[in-house]
Chains A and B, each alone.
Chain A
Amino acid sequence: MSIFSLAITVLVGVLFFVLFFHLSNFLLDYFRVKASKNFAFENSIRVIIFIAPAFIVLFIFIIYPVFETIRLSFYDKVGENFVGLFNYTWAINDPDFRRSIINNLGWLIVVPTLSTFFGLVIANLADRIWWGSIAKSIIFMPMAISFVGAGVIWKFMYDYRGPGDQQIGLLNAIAVALGFEPQAWLTIPLWNNLFLMAIMIWIQTGLALVIFSAALRSIPNETLDAARIDGASELKIFWSIIIPYLEQTILVIWTIITILVLKVFDIIYAMTNGQWQTEVLANLMYDWMFRGGGDSGRGSVLAFCILIGVIPILAWNLYRHKQEQKV
């Protein structure tokens, strides 16, 4: 399609929604003037105009699908015949599924931990160095890049050439320079998972960094100065004042990255597609969704497993929201 027709499509799409709200409210006002002043009625119509589009979208794309997916997990591949727990027993006995669970657990442990740790360390370092904000910008930059783009960047870093050839991947060039054999990093089981996780850490450290930076600024300077006057070392201040102060923030960052990691898909799909024992739930689910015409039962089971991982965080968020509402 040409730029022109694309632009028209885009414009029509957006205008549709602008006009919906404008016209419906206009009509409401118009009839209000004519009809008797029934405020309660008018208000409830207005509420419906305001929330209906969002609610319908929310219902179609989130609420209904969640329950439908749970239902489908008890049905066969076309979603017509009830098969009980068949899909679940299949999953438990499936080697790919077991591999995915183990890998996902690995991701869940390594990525949030290291991203949070690096973010915290860098935020602290950058805070007291005059070129810190430039450093923060650079480390934050991968946040703007797509996972696929990051995948290409790192695939290039991990590129492998035979022992005699010149290496064009930086990691192998370094390995060779240090006197080691070049390695096809992404094909070494277990280790390759770490190389994939490195990409996610590379991206998510930036997120942790900016949030920590904002939180660090809220620590009162008097507290820190008082500790310094008392002769506390920077390391002591870090562990005894800054860490306890940032407890909530650490938890929040941890949950954000955890949710992201649970559904990690793009990186695996682009880099290894689950080969060499790097399978994860989201990739396996995508695979089952489209492999051989699709299997909605197995796909749903896999999706449901991801949801189960999220439920503790979901409950915690709701709990915190309730606490906030009370205040």
Chain B
Amino acid sequence: MKKLTFTSVFSQLLLLLFVIAWIVPTFGLFISSLRDKDVLAISGWWTSFTTTEVNEIYRTKGKEDQIKEGDYYFIKSNLFDENQGKEIYRFGITSKNIDEYEVGETALFKDETEITVFENGDYVWKSKEEFKKKKGKRIFVSAKSPPSFTLDNYKEVLLKEGLGQAFLNTFAVALPATLIPLIICSYFAYALTWMKFYGRDLLLATIIASLVVPLQMCLIPVLTIYNDFGALFGVSAKSYPGIWMAHTGFGLASTTFLLWNFLKTLPSEMIEAARVDGATHYDTFIKIVVPLSIPSFASIFILQFLWVWNDLLVGLVFLDKHPSEIILTAKLKELLGSRGENWEILTTGAFVSMTVPLFIFFSLQRYFIRGLVAGSVKG
């Protein structure tokens, strides 16, 4: 390590600032997805690491739970449905004065029944006469809530909101939509690099031009083709094969270009030697080029897979929003509209959609970066 100078301390601090600014949004989302939905709606995620003070309203049990002991009728129970580790320190019986009593004190209702609330939520409600009302009374409590995290949101989102199915659907879209262009383009790139044919340079220029053509330029005519095709055969054109081919089409130029960039760095002597020995182009491709290209295949696979996984536009246009076809990003967008205030659903849903990209990112970062750099510096 270098010695501490003003410059090095300053640069460390500056970098730290950048890192914090970049990680905090994602981190907040992740923490929020693990919090209880009621707490999430009323307090910031940064408060979840410390004991917080919350004011809550509970209702006591009604007449069914009363027991008679001696001359008095009692209702004994706990305010909390489940033990959340909360500690009550004050309580009240009217909304005007929600923290009138110290915990353990006895409060007197207007109907002359009295209630004592204890720290852990236990209460004893005592009356001379029999309790008549089905509904209990409202109790206002001020409690200290310790940090608590739960996986409930994930269960809810995956099973009830249909994100689990969307997750599978996205895989069913992304895997072929990555493998098909890889197969087609590897032959194409091989032809562009090692085969001689009329119009090769023009084809290459077309690929380079297609690299930057905005997706929007292609949507309307392709959608028309799909609709015509669907009408002709009487099937819905918005289907898995349909979106695979759409992704193949829109990813074709970049996949081909990256592969071509790699293939032209292979030693031409090797290819020519194989050809002289009588190997066909197909043999050369399968037995020499493919094994050598595995690392670059990996990079391109990751780039295209992430692209498809994260895509929204193509999924919206070429797939139905039906539960058996909807992809994660479209589902998430739908939730943003319909459950815009249910942050427990949104944060968890967003994190579910990010699991696969993040897994790929952390396990295969090297290939990912290599692909990006290859696509940019050379292109």
Contact = CB atoms under 8 A, between A and B. Distances in A.
A56 B246 CA distance: 12
A249 interface: yes
A122 to B, nearest CB: 6
B278 to A, nearest CB: 11
B329 interface: yes
A41 interface: no
B42 interface: yes
A55 B188 contact: yes
Contacts of A299: 219-220
Contacts of B43: 166, 168
Contacts of A262: 214
A161 B371 CA distance: 43
Interface string B321-343: 00010001100110010000001
A62 B219 CA distance: 9
Nearest to B20: A138
Contact of B12 (A129, A207, A269): A129
B313 A266 contact: yes
A253 to B, nearest CB: 7
A312 B205 CA distance: 15
A83 B19 CA distance: 54
Interface string B188-226: 101110010100010111111111111111111111110
Contact of B26 (A6, A68, A142, A234): A142
Nearest to B341: A159
Contact of B211 (A6, A281, A317): A317
Nearest to B335: A152
A125 B188 contact: no
| Main secondary structure on A side of the interface with B | helix
A141 B187 CA distance: 32
Given A66-B218, A166-B44, A153 B25 contact: yes
B42 A166 contact: yes
Contact of A146 (B180, B205, B281, B357): B357
A69 B187 CA distance: 29
Contact-residue bracket for chain B: 35 or more
A170 interface: yes
A102 interface: no
A145 B357 contact: yes
A88 B245 CA distance: 32
Contact of B353 (A139, A142, A148, A313): A148
10 contacts: A17-B180, A53-B187, A65-B222, A148-B333, A154-B25, A157-B25, A256-B376, A269-B312, A303-B220, A321-B204
B15 A132 contact: yes
Nearest to A11: B176
Contact of B252 (A57, A65, A314): A57
A146 B309 contact: yes
Contacts of A154: 25
Contacts of B187: 21, 49-51, 53-54
A276 interface: no
Interface in A230-267: 234, 249, 252-253, 256, 259, 262-263, 265-266
Given A58-B249, A139-B18, A142-B22, 18 more contacts: A10-B171, A18-B183, A25-B282, A54-B184, A62-B213, A63-B210, A65-B222, A79-B224, A144-B357, A146-B328, A148-B336, A168-B43, A169-B44, A202-B25, A207-B376, A307-B213, A318-B205, A321-B205
A35 interface: no
Contacts of B23: 138, 141
Interface in B36-59: 40-46
Nearest to A141: B361
A108 to B, nearest CB: 13
A249 to B, nearest CB: 7
Contacts of B328: 146
B175 interface: yes
A210 B241 contact: no
Contact of A215 (B1, B240, B346, B377): B377
A156 B28 contact: yes
Interface of A: 1, 3, 6-7, 9-10, 13-14, 17-18, 21, 25, 28-29, 43-44, 46-47, 49-51, 53-55, 57-58, 60-66, 68-69, 72, 79, 118, 121-122, 125-126, 128-130, 132, 135, 137-149, 151-157, 159, 165-170, 173, 202, 205, 207, 210-211, 214-215, 234, 249, 252-253, 256, 259, 262-263, 265-266, 269-270, 281-282, 285-286, 289, 296, 299-300, 302-304, 306-307, 310, 313-314, 317-318, 321, 325
Nearest to B239: A9
Contact of B376 (A21, A166, A253): A253
Contact of B22 (A10, A173, A202): A202
Nearest to B310: A146
B11 A170 contact: no
A135 B23 CA distance: 10
A138 B22 contact: yes
A143 B371 CA distance: 13
A207 B244 contact: no
B166 to A, nearest CB: 12
A25 B91 CA distance: 82
Contacts of B336: 148, 151-152, 155, 270
A144 to B, nearest CB: 4
B368 interface: yes
